[in-house]
A and B are shown apart, each in its own frame.
Chain A
Amino acid sequence: MSMKLLDKLHLALFGYQAHRKRLLARAPDGPLKAFLSVPFPDKNTPISEVPVLALDFETTGLDSKKDQLLSAGSVEINRGEICLKSRYHQIVKTRGLLDEDNVVIHQITDSAKEQGAELALVVEAILSALAGKVMLVHFARIEITFLRQACLELYGMAPIFPVIDTLMVAKRRLDKRGLPFDASGLRLGNLRQSHQLPAHFAHNALNDALATAELLLAEVACANHGEQLPLKHYLL
């Protein structure tokens, strides 16, 4: 789901805070409006003071228009710390039978899916958690497009989100080093390993969100010899 040209132009000219206000004026009452009414963190805030929501989706595929959201997991980072108390994990009630290949990857079976929540409730919960925070994802395209698509379907319009993508943070760090590197090294598990983070149980939305949050802490700790950089340095 790409943004409209006018929106893109506005974002480039006035920044995401102004763009948020512009969207807020158009937003229908409800979860989306509530989300947009909270200001985004300032781009010049030192990264460790920025409230962050690490987010991960498990989906049936890569196409937000055709594929479905299976589950969502998130956890907050506040003042440089991950708080497990803030964790969120929800399986989404989807339509139709699940593709067997995906069941293997995500370990969500049809019977578990039956216990899932309505998409509207899940999106509402995510928007509410995300208000005033920066979204943190590893390889952000899926989460951004699926969340925007869901908002479009539910509320008739898609919001914007300030996003940190740990894949891009790591890529920029490695690019700067000027040495060639293997793209597979940018996978979540491999990056974690390069920071001596423990192996994690992948393909569960909450575990992946948590793994991404830990990776960001490691990237921040190692950037510029521990010197605090502002949020804008990390934004997508």
Chain B
Amino acid sequence: MNAELTEIRDFIKASPPFDKLPDDAADRLTENIHIGYLRKDSSLPPKNITEPRLYLVRKGALSYLDEQHELLGKFGEGDICTVFCLPDDKIKIAVRTDEDTLLYSINWQLVFDLLQPFPEVLAYFNTSAAERLQRQVSKIHEQAVVNGTLMNTSISDFYRAPAVTITAGASIRDAAIKMNEVNLSSLLVTEKGEMAGIVTDKDIRQRCVAQALSVEQPVSDIMTRQLISIEADNNAFDALVLMTTRQIHHLPVTREGKLAGMITVTDLIRQEGQNAVHITGAIHKAESIKALVEISKLVPKLQQHMVKTGTTAAHVGKSISAITAAFTVRLIEMAEKISGPAPVPYVWVAAGSQARREQCCHSDQDNALIISDQAKPEHDYWFHDLATFVCDGLAACGYAYCPGNVMASNPKWRQSQKVWGQYFEAWVNKPDPKALMHCSIFFDLAPIHGEMSLLTDLRQTMLAQTQGNTLFLAHLTKNALNLRPPLGFFRDFVLEKNGDNKNTLDLKHKGIAPIVDLARIYALAEGVSAVNTVERLRQVAGSASLTLASAKNLIDAVEFMGMLRIEHQVKQLQQGKLADNFLPPKQISRLEREHLKDAFKVVKSLQDVRQSVYG
């Protein structure tokens, strides 16, 4: 091609998804460009253009508006506009120029033909926001695995043994029962004592239930015939390569040719969390607050390390939360050593992000005490001392006092099980704004130390009150919908619904919190006791509240945003700054912005569904 058009070619190549194209393919796109100029407030496509085209903003800005003239998004230099690629009467999006705009366009059919050899680029146009996001998240997972220390780890260190098998003639129902018994998502299928294949819970869903196949059919009907296995003395990285090239998630492990066990992709990912185990070990051995404070200084470093080695956000959250729990338990043990044993049973509970196991280092503390109804008024001295000691200790270890005073040291949140029951009843029956705020904190509770049944019983009563309680759920929904994700990005700004621009994206409140809220509502509506957001979504998936596909999309969205959040925090920590949740769009790549926009879309569409159900 003429070297003279390299400027335009480079511009094309800087615009995702074309950044993945080799130069010669980008050249061919470039030479097919038409250049037009539209005045401010013109509508797209230009009047004389009737063929389907892909548009690309070279200079200027576009606004997308829905039928009610509500702003859907703003697009600037380097943004592509696919609205007019495949004319669809159902989509009524108006596109208008916000400024005088120099616009590139290419015949869509031509783009489509040119991109045939590049399925990963073409996929951008063929897939929904949710699908693109999913692809990105699975890429991050793969990266997480590759970046770890898998090269140095032998499979024999962590495969699951023995392999759980079932004979090929057994029924699908038997296979499901066995999976439940052993709590595994896959079984090896044997035929005449030889390995014949593998059956997973996904096979049961997709090949049996979804196909209305009788569960009495032999399991061999739905298994994947798979005779690939790996010897236990290979390293974990080899296992990963094998699994990714064959696109499988479960791999049988053999020792000297004999079936010995199984390894899964999840096992590989989990390997990276091992560092957290060392820290919790040290906490258990600490003999003084001073020693705990020393250990607590390692926590930000651990988070940095985990992020650098590519660990997923969900996993970092679980590790950090586990460490917080370890600090709490150790402090409680110290307090009991000073004040003697508890006069009556109690349970120390964590609320908020720690309960959900989604904590980052430098989180505030959120905790409470549920005390047995046998307690007498004078017993509160003991619990007061305990709470004060533990909360002060946590503060010394870097967990700031809760600004809203949601701590066991506050008498209001240090109450008997009976009083807690009354609290929940009052919140559910009279959901005023303050009650709803308390709901979002105390519906996410996890036991940390003590008599667990105190919380389990309370939760059962509470769930019985919320499940199917449409009025309460409607209030909770309305409250949750106050937090809307932004529309997207415009140049280096975050674009809000009303057209405002902000310098930074509040990842916690505008991105992650709306999903956490949705997951809580689904869980309460369906009577699910899980507290962790991803677990809640998994458990309600396929229920009346949430389809399987939507659950998957939300999980991808929360993982992606969680990852951006911890990466941002690690960057801040490395620069010696305090970690926060405010991400400047300038700091992330154009591609990451695209994926973030996809995540916002997923959240927004499910908020809309929720609004139409309980609005």
Q: Which residues of A contact B (CB under 8 A)?
A: 48, 73, 79-85, 87, 89, 195-198, 200-201, 204, 206-207, 210, 213-214, 217-218, 220-222, 226
Contact = CB atoms under 8 A, between A and B. Distances in A.
B102 A198 contact: yes
A185 to B, nearest CB: 18
A79 B59 CA distance: 21
11 contacts: A82-B34, A83-B34, A87-B2, A87-B5, A200-B7, A207-B7, A214-B35, A214-B102, A217-B37, A221-B37, A222-B39
A84 B39 contact: no
Contacts, number: 71
Interface string B459-484: 00000000000000000000000000
Given A89-B4, A214-B102, A222-B39, A84 B59 contact: no
A207 B39 contact: no
B32 interface: yes
B276 interface: no
Contacts of A204: 4
B100 A196 contact: yes
B39 A201 contact: no
B37 A214 contact: yes
Contact of B37 (A79, A89, A207, A218): A218
Interface string B1-38: 01011011000000000000000000000111111111
A84 B32 contact: yes
Interface in B45-67: 46, 48-49, 58-60
A197 B59 contact: yes
B99 interface: yes
Nearest to A196: B100
B48 A84 contact: no
Contacts of B100: 195-196, 218, 221-222
Nearest to B2: A89
Given A80-B48, A87-B2, 4 more contacts: A48-B48, A198-B102, A220-B37, A226-B42
Contacts of A85: 31-32
A207 B5 CA distance: 8
A41 to B, nearest CB: 17
Interface residues of B, number: 26
B51 to A, nearest CB: 12
B64 to A, nearest CB: 21
B39 A226 contact: yes
Contacts of A220: 37
A221 B60 CA distance: 14
Contact of B46 (A80, A210, A213): A80
Contacts of B38: 221
Contact of A207 (B4, B33, B60): B4
A220 B105 CA distance: 19
A-side binding surface: helix, strand, loop or mixed?
A: mixed
B35 A213 contact: yes
Contact of B35 (A73, A79, A82, A206): A82
Contact of A84 (B33, B42, B49): B33
A190 to B, nearest CB: 16
B116 to A, nearest CB: 20
Contact of B2 (A201, A206, A218): A206
B34 A73 contact: no
A220 B46 CA distance: 14
Nearest to A216: B37
A126 B99 CA distance: 35
B58 A84 contact: no
Contacts of A200: 7
Contacts of A201: 7
A206 B34 CA distance: 15
A221 B31 CA distance: 24
A84 B5 contact: yes
A217 B2 CA distance: 23
B35 A84 contact: yes
Contacts of A48: 48
Nearest to A226: B39
Nearest to A49: B48
A73 B99 contact: no
B4 A217 contact: no
A48 B48 CA distance: 10
Given A195-B100, A200-B7, A81 B35 contact: yes
**Minimum-distance CB pairs A-B, first 10:** A217-B37, A82-B35, A206-B4, A81-B34, A221-B39, A84-B33, A198-B59, A81-B36, A218-B37, A89-B2
Nearest to A204: B4
Nearest to B34: A81
B606 to A, nearest CB: 39
Contacts of A197: 59, 102
B501 to A, nearest CB: 19
Nearest to B106: A84
A96 B46 CA distance: 49
A79 B33 contact: no
Contacts of B46: 80-81
Contacts of A218: 37, 100, 102
Interface string B102-129: 1001000000000000000000000000
A214 B31 CA distance: 16
A196 B60 contact: yes
Contacts of B58: 198
Contacts of A195: 100
B99 A196 contact: yes
Contacts of A198: 58-59, 102
Contacts of A80: 36, 46, 48
A43 to B, nearest CB: 21
Given A84-B31, A85-B32, A201-B7, A196 B59 contact: yes
Nearest to A209: B4
B394 to A, nearest CB: 55
Contacts of A210: 35
Nearest to A218: B37
Contacts of A84: 5, 8, 30-35
Interface in B479-503: none
A48 B46 CA distance: 12
